[in-house]
Chain A
Amino acid sequence: MRTLVWLLVVGLVALVGIVLSQLGALDPLKNGALTVASPLERGLRTAASPAADFLDNVADRQDLEEENRLLRQQIEELTAEIADLKEAQFTAADLAELAEVEESRPDDQFLVTRVIARDPSNLKERLAIDRGSSDGVSEGMVVMSEGGSLVGVISKALDDFAWVTLITDPNSNVNAMVLESRAQGVVSGSLHDGLSMDLIPQEAEVEPGDTVATSGLGGNFPQALLIGQVAAVRGEPQDMFKKAEVEPAASLSGLENVLVLTSFIATRLVSP
């Protein structure tokens, strides 16, 4: 009987807490807790990183060898490609288009932030960063890696901290385009399966190694932000759409600093 009463009371209190959290009433409390906990978390993470790196290396040794071989091959191919492009004096249509996009956003402003935590749940892919609404960060802002590729979007901004939903999160969807063929689709996250690009028209030519970038459709992301490369293409000829596995350009598991694109305001399109 005592157990039942406890379950009911604590369960009810938990539900009230969830409702209050959804209303934002507990945000100051969360902000305070993160202020206290983040230096400790950083210390613990630093202390644990040699062990994590060691285990990672042991587990990934074979993968690394294969990856190394592929990267060498890719470097060679890219070097040849760069030489070709130089020879053509940057007149290729896709480069011109990229340059146009860059010119159309000359006033982009970034905020450099530090990653302070990763969400430990198995069902979400999120990061905490050490800047929040007091620094001008707001929900919907785009987050990029130091190399300039897409990392995710701000899903919750507290006063001094913010949470970033990564593009690999199961609830993340980004309108994307394969630069080589201009084929459009939607890049989505999944449960531990990396990124996939869905809804690619069957007739579109997509091949492993092709570059995937944001298409800008929908207004939630700027155009031509690098997402990654096509790793494999799936689908039968009778399917309506193709599906491609995408290898993210940014190393999402090892991010230490990220850039928040503060000058881009996401447009929330409402159907007419």
Chain B
Amino acid sequence: MRYVLFVPLILFVALAQVATAPYFPLLGVTANPLLVLLMCWAMVRGPKETMVLIPLAGIFKDLITTDPVGTSVLALLPIVPLAAVRERWPTESEFLPTLTAVAAASVSYHLLYMMVLTAVGDGPPWLQSPMRVILPAALFNALITPILYLPVRWATTLSEMVRPGLRVAG
């Protein structure tokens, strides 16, 4: 349950995203560091922990934005099955599947998000969205993946190195 200690960090990333992401656009879109971090987390450490982190982060983000509470939770859900697929069919490289999973999660995030917006009567233009939002956002999120993947990888490696030592000492 040590990962629960990282909950404040995840919430901080959600807050930082809401506060600053609109001021750093690329290709006309903003990045979604929360999605990227959760996807990296799920790919490196397995999907189990993200099953707790996704509802917490999603609800927190929705509380401080215009989205109905639950929208981000719903849009972030595909992270878990994507990581489960990777867990079932492990590959030699970890980074490239993570990059692909981030792009796929970004696409599914926007599709689910648009479905919710449409259902609540706030629907975006579906025909323009793939080229103007969905694909650029997937690319942008893939671009920032190394920035978030490396700390998660290092933290995981570090914790794996420390754990056996603690066992011996105990």
Contacts and interface: CB of A to CB of B under 8 A. Distances in A.
A182 interface: no
Contact of B124 (A51, A119, A123, A128): A123
A29 B63 CA distance: 7
Contacts of B62: 17, 21
Contacts of A217: none
Contact of A21 (B30, B32, B58, B68): B68
A22 B117 contact: no
A82 B60 CA distance: 52
Interface residues of A, number: 49
A255 to B, nearest CB: 11
Interface of B: prevailing SS: helix
A56 to B, nearest CB: 8
Interface string B70-89: 11011001001100100000
Contact of B73 (A13, A41, A117, A120): A13
B97 to A, nearest CB: 17
Given A17-B70, A122-B30, A41 B18 contact: yes
A16 B70 contact: yes
Given A16-B70, A29-B69, A3 B84 contact: yes
Given A3-B47, A3-B80, A41-B64, A18 B19 contact: no
Given A10-B55, A18-B74, A170 B124 contact: yes
Interface string A159-203: 000010000001100000000000000000011110000000000
A45 B66 contact: no
Contacts of B69: 17-18, 20-21, 26, 29-30
Interface in A1-52: 3, 6-7, 10-11, 13-18, 20-22, 26, 29-30, 33-34, 37, 40-42, 44-45, 48-49, 51-52
Contacts of B59: 17
Nearest to A125: B22
Contacts of B74: 11, 14-15, 18
A37 to B, nearest CB: 5
A45 B19 contact: yes
A45 B58 CA distance: 21
B15 A191 contact: no
Contact of A44 (B15, B47, B84): B15
B91 interface: no
Given A14-B58, A22-B68, A26-B69, A44 B19 contact: yes
Given A21-B69, A30-B69, A7 B23 contact: no
A3 B16 contact: no
Interface of B: 15-24, 28-30, 32, 47, 51, 54-55, 58-60, 62-71, 73-74, 77, 80-81, 84, 110, 113-114, 116-117, 119-120, 122-125, 128-129, 132-133, 137
Interface of A: 3, 6-7, 10-11, 13-18, 20-22, 26, 29-30, 33-34, 37, 40-42, 44-45, 48-49, 51-52, 55, 117-124, 126, 128, 155-156, 163, 170-171, 190-193
